[in-house]
Structure 1
Amino acid sequence: MDIITILGPTASGKTSVAVKLAERLDAEIISADSRQVYRRMDLGTGKDLDDYTINGKQIPYHLIDIVEPGTKYNVFEYQQDFLKAYNDIRSRGKRVIVCGGTGLYLESILRSYRLSPVPQNPQLRERLKDKTLDELTQILSQYKVLHNSTDVDSAQRAIRAIEIAEYYKHTPIDDRPFPTLTSYNIGIDVDRDTRRKRITQRLKQRLDAGMVDEIRHLLAEGIQPDDLIYYGLEYKYLTLYAINKLSYDEMFRQLEIAIHQFAKRQMTWFRGMERRGIEIHWLKAEEAVNINITDL
């Protein structure tokens, strides 16, 4: 088995499971999270870096804090960075655990996507610029090429997803071989009500910990509001609050709803992965932690 993959929706506790397994297996963790790649975007992305320390031991992690805020990191870049991290870990005789909730990143590894870097399409962007998020989502649904629909919660991200889908519709995919990796895939099974309670509790904790200040510091660095809004979820609604487009109560209410919707989209993606031939073993967190290592 080349890798063990721990996946699940936001607030499912997958990082804790991955860290405990990594300690047992003498493994290192590669993140599969499209937002945690950004430096200084900590609370809003839920990095919870303290969770990587267990029994006084620091579990090495990769592909967290690797690019600057304001950049548009993508799945093609993720694949390249994943391979570098994977080869590095294996060269040192360690096992690899992949942990995250970004379905497209996970699937690009598990199904060995062959991808090319996708350039911007100014003409397409001009045609789409005045459309609403609902209209853009509907356009996106008409493409057959997989896109990261779980993360499409802002117009900018939707336009970029359409741009990518349109590119692959008309451009032959380069013969860029990606190795076929065998993986034992564990999905963290958490019931809907528990997940909703955890999401609300975690949102309150992060706000109390200074998530609004994190946004304000990023804006003070000169990062444009639209660039933060592009990242969606916490960065979208907290930026709108920071620039006085939403009241605090409006921000909290709308963000809470958006995170619940995001978790639902994540689960829809994971079910789609199963339909596309990826076997996922759905386990409660305690079952996943105590899984028989000899089976892996």
Structure 2
Amino acid sequence: MNNFELITILGPTASGKTGFACKLAYDLNSEIISGDSRQVYKTMDIGTGKDLDDYTVNGKQIPYHLIDICEAGEKYNIYEYQHDFHKAYTDIKQRNILPVLCGGSGLYIESVLRGYSLVNVPENKNLRKELEGKSLEELSKILGSYKQLHNSTDIDTAQRAIRAIEIEAYKKDNPLEQNEYPPINSLIIGIDIEREARRAKISKRLKARLEEGMIDEVRSILDKGVAPEDLIYYGLEYKYITLHILGKLSYNEMYSQLEIAIHQFAKRQMTWFRGMEKRGLTIHWLASSLPDDEKTDRVKSLL
């Protein structure tokens, strides 16, 4: 008996991890904790791929946590996520339920599995002024100079790169001595999708989401008073669509650049997950093409 305290379902974007996690949670009478860095934001639905319909399985609503917990435009961070995760995790465990953590934000997931010691890093105005005007490539090189890198899977804007550098600079000058949360013994399941299949699904999904009104979603958020730079900060869909709405990119330029960026993002996600394995976490990979019933049986055999 492994005495697992959690089941973690992870995988790159478009791998089908959410749908499977919901069906697994239904079968195990469980609840899902999101491990996605952008689904925490209200009204950012299509662009973050919340797919809330997936959370209804055979007419039953699967309870979920850490989705729609803060307003669009806010700067939610890993420190807040770790605390919010443990609040939800403790609540679920106290009801004798084995929680399911599901997502694609590698750093968020690893932070709770390994019990990262984190602090709420304050804004460093002098450092931000020093970094202002540098290109994303220059900022990425600076970020890479730190021995213990902050999340690099979704650093696709200068703002996010500057924030990552700010965090690393703070950690360098403020060493942490002990963890606030212990590591969690989790069964980790990775949904492995073949590269070309993943690329095809990403392209098909992007087209569908644009047809579903993703541009209108972004425009609605801007109309509510969220500053364009705050949406651009979130990267990917919100970066490129905002630039399109502002007239800085044509529709075709937006579509093409966004599609490339999502493909690159999925590749970085997989690099992170492979890094987790090198850092000592065991991930049991299951083919995305495997029927969900077979995936569920495989998970049960590992519990």
TM-score of the superposition, structure 1-length normalised? 0.98
In the alignment, which residue of structure 2 is the partner of 1:276?
Answer: 279
In the alignment, which residue of structure 1 is the partner of 2:233?
Answer: 230
In the alignment, which residue of structure 1 is the partner of 2:121?
Answer: 118
Identity of aligned residues (%): 62
Deviations 1:25-80 (A, max 9, x none): 11100000000000000001000000111111111110000011111111110000
In the alignment, which residue of structure 2 is the partner of 1:260?
Answer: 263
State the alpha-carbon separation in 2 of the partners of residues 126 and 208 from structure 1.
40
Q: Which range moves more in the overlay, 87-96 or 262-271?
A: 87-96
Deviations 1:235-287 (A, max 9, x none): 00000001111000000000000000000000010111111001111111334
Change (3 A) 1:116 1:292: closer
State the alpha-carbon separation in 1 of the partners of residues 81 and 46 from structure 2.
21
1:293 aligns with 2:300: yes
Question: What letter is aligned with 2:225?
Answer: G
State the alpha-carbon separation in 2 of the partners of residues 7 and 138 from structure 1.
28
1:201 aligns with 2:191: no
Change (3 A) 1:167 1:218: same
| Kept in 2: contact 1:188–1:284 (CA 8 A) | yes
Q: Which range moves more in the overlay, 267-276 or 176-185?
A: 176-185
CA RMSD after TM alignment: 1.0
**TM-aligned CA deviation for residue 291 of structure 1:** 1.5
State the alpha-carbon separation in 2 of the partners of residues 218 and 111 from structure 1.
35
1:179 aligns with 2:186: no
1:59 aligns with 2:66: no
Give secondary structure in 2 for the equivalent of 1:153.
coil
In the alignment, which residue of structure 1 is the partner of 2:15?
Answer: 12
Change (3 A) 1:222 1:90: same
In the alignment, which residue of structure 2 is the partner of 1:79?
Answer: 82
**TM-aligned CA deviation for residue 176 of structure 1:** 4.4
1:32 aligns with 2:35: yes
State the alpha-carbon separation in 1 of the partners of residues 282 and 149 from structure 2.
18
**TM-aligned CA deviation for residue 292 of structure 1:** 4.8
Deviations 1:71-94 (A, max 9, x none): 111111000000010011112221
Give secondary structure in 2 for the equivalent of 1:72.
coil
Q: Which range moves more in the overlay, 285-294 or 148-157?
A: 285-294
Q: Which range moves more in the overlay, 84-93 or 45-54?
A: 84-93
State the alpha-carbon separation in 2 of the partners of residues 41 and 292 from structure 1.
31
Give secondary structure in 2 for the equivalent of 1:187.
strand
In the alignment, which residue of structure 2 is the partner of 1:103?
Answer: 106
**TM-aligned CA deviation for residue 229 of structure 1:** 0.0
**TM-aligned CA deviation for residue 295 of structure 1:** 2.7
Question: Which blocks of at least 5 consecutive residues in structure 2 are unaligned?
Answer: none
In the alignment, which residue of structure 1 is the partner of 2:156?
Answer: 153
Question: What letter is aligned with 2:267?
Answer: K
Question: What letter is aligned with 2:302?
Answer: D
Question: What letter is aligned with 2:250?
Answer: S
TM-score of the superposition, structure 2-length normalised? 0.96
Q: Which structure 1 residue ranges, 4+ long, deviate > 6 Å from structure 2?
A: none
Give secondary structure in 2 for the equivalent of 1:27.
coil
| Kept in 1: contact 2:8–2:189 (CA 8 A) | yes
**TM-aligned CA deviation for residue 22 of structure 1:** 0.5
State the alpha-carbon separation in 1 of the partners of residues 180 and 299 from structure 2.
33
| Kept in 2: contact 1:186–1:288 (CA 8 A) | no
